[in-house]
């Protein structure tokens, strides 16, 4: 969809940054489900390309003959050679109304094709208008000799009116070690693009407020209902918890910090958590899911406290299978777990 030569910048061409920033596999998928997919001309995209750029970021040259991207901005960080972060913006018109499920299911498609680690995908909270949907996916990509944090954000307004469909793709890439230092600038750029899209589709402030309220209510319902886990995910969690009564029984984490009185209290609660995981409708609170995820993570990953390198010897899962399952579980629990519940204050009963 995007030609790396279009960047007109040292990070384009054969640069691993250029290849990541030119990745548009989700757009390719959307384009295959609509008609008349065409890059939006720069002359018609000033509402997007003129969205604010925060201090410390600057516009970079774009090949005048290239249709995409429409805009590139970049920034540097003292002590880091070259650019530390980049944002690209592209926009397309089309005719058709792609199913929102297409975006939701494939939000992380490009990252999966890059074998990214730590993938996180979410819906973007947008006004509930016909054909409007947004998705965001981020992860860490090894590109050449660099580890990059990459985020793809796609906004779509479908329409059966000729050429009235609109898709906007925003891509961020940042040197992984500099990501936190760039957070404020990335956040400002992302907010500006989201505001530009919302304004372009004619949404009002009331539409936005209603969407935020609906999202908050849906999150409350999701937490109350509990997560939906597959049988394989539950089996992995049970295997991960089982090591605390087996190979890792003498390598317990700091149980007092977790809110337990002693090892017997810890063992009894692990048994309770395993029992509930085996039920069709587990009776588990957010604190329980938070502990389950934390204990599963260190059970598999930590060689000091958990099973670590011996996990695949004492469970039916290989390391690669465990990693894939653990990542999928983290995504499933992302709206339920709360790290503050894992290490409760001594004077607070969070059990």
Residue 62's DSSP bridge partners are none
CATH class of the domain comprising 4-223: alpha beta
Write out pLDDT tens, residues 72-93.
999 998 878 788 899 999 999 9
Contact present, 154 and 27 (Cβ < 8 Å): yes
- pLDDT confidence tier of residue 40, bands split at 50, 70 and 90: very high
Q: Which residues contact 66 (CB under 8 A, 6 or more apart)?
A: 3, 5, 6, 8
Identity of the highest mean pLDDT range in 11-20, 145-154, 239-248, 332-341: 145-154
pLDDT at 252: 65
* 293-319 per-position pLDDT tens digit: 999 999 998 888 878 888 988 899 999
List pLDDT tens digits, range 246-258. 766 666 667 778 8
Q: For residue 342, which of 291, 304, 280 has the smallest C-alpha distance?
A: 291
Task: Give per-residue pLDDT as tens, 220-277.
Answer: 777 677 788 999 999 999 999 998 877 666 666 677 788 888 889 999 999 999 999 9
Q: CA-to-CA distance for 84 and 98, rounded, in angstroms?
A: 35
Is the pLDDT at 107 greater than 60, yes or no? yes
Task: Tell whether the model's pLDDT for residue 96 goes beyond 90.
Answer: yes
Mean pLDDT of 191-212: 95
* In the chain, domain spans: 4-223, 231-342
* Distance (Å, whole) CA 46 – CA 30: 23
For residues 128-144, average pLDDT:
90
Percent of the chain with pLDDT over 90: 52
- Give the DSSP H/E element, type plus range, for residue 227: none
Token pair for 179: 């990501």
């Amino acid at each position: 969809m995007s030609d790396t030569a279009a960047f007109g910048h040292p990070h384009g061409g054969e640069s691993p940054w250029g290849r990541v920033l030119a990745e548009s596999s989700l757009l390719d998928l959307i384009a295959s489900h609509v008609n008349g997919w065409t890059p939006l001309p720069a002359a018609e995209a000033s509402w997007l390309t003129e969205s604010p750029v925060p201090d410390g970021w600057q516009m970079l040259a774009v090949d005048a003959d290239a249709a995409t991207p429409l805009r590139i901005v970049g920034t540097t960080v003292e002590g880091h050679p070259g650019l530390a972060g980049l944002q690209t913006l592209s926009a397309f018109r089309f005719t058709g109304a792609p199913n929102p499920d297409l975006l939701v299911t494939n939000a992380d498609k490009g990252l999966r094709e890059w074998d990214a680690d730590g993938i996180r995908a979410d819906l973007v909270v947008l006004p509930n208008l016909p054909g409007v949907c947004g998705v965001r996916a981020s992860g860490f990509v090894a590109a050449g000799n660099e580890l990059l944090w990459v985020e793809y954000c796609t906004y779509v307004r479908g329409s059966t009116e000729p050429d009235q469909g609109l898709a906007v793709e925003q891509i961020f890439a940042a040197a992984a070690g500099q990501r936190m230092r760039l957070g404020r600038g990335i956040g400002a750029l992302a907010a500006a693009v989201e505001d530009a899209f919302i304004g372009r589709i004619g949404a009002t402030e009331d539409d936005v407020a209603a969407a935020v309220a609906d999202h908050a209510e849906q999150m409350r319902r999701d937490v109350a209902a509990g997560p939906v886990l597959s049988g394989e995910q539950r089996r992995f969690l049970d295997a991960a918890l089982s090591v605390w009564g087996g190979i890792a029984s003498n390598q317990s984490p700091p149980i007092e910090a977790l809110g337990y009185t002693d090892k017997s209290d810890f063992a009894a609660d692990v048994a309770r958590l395993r029992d509930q995981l085996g039920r069709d409708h587990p009776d588990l609170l957010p604190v329980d899911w938070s502990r389950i995820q934390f204990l599963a993570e260190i059970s598999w990953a930590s060689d000091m406290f958990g099973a670590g390198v011996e996990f695949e010897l004492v469970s039916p899962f290989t390391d690669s299978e465990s990693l894939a399952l653990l990542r999928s579980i983290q995504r499933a629990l992302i709206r339920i777990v709360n790290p503050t519940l894992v290490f409760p204050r001594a004077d607070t009963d969070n059990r």
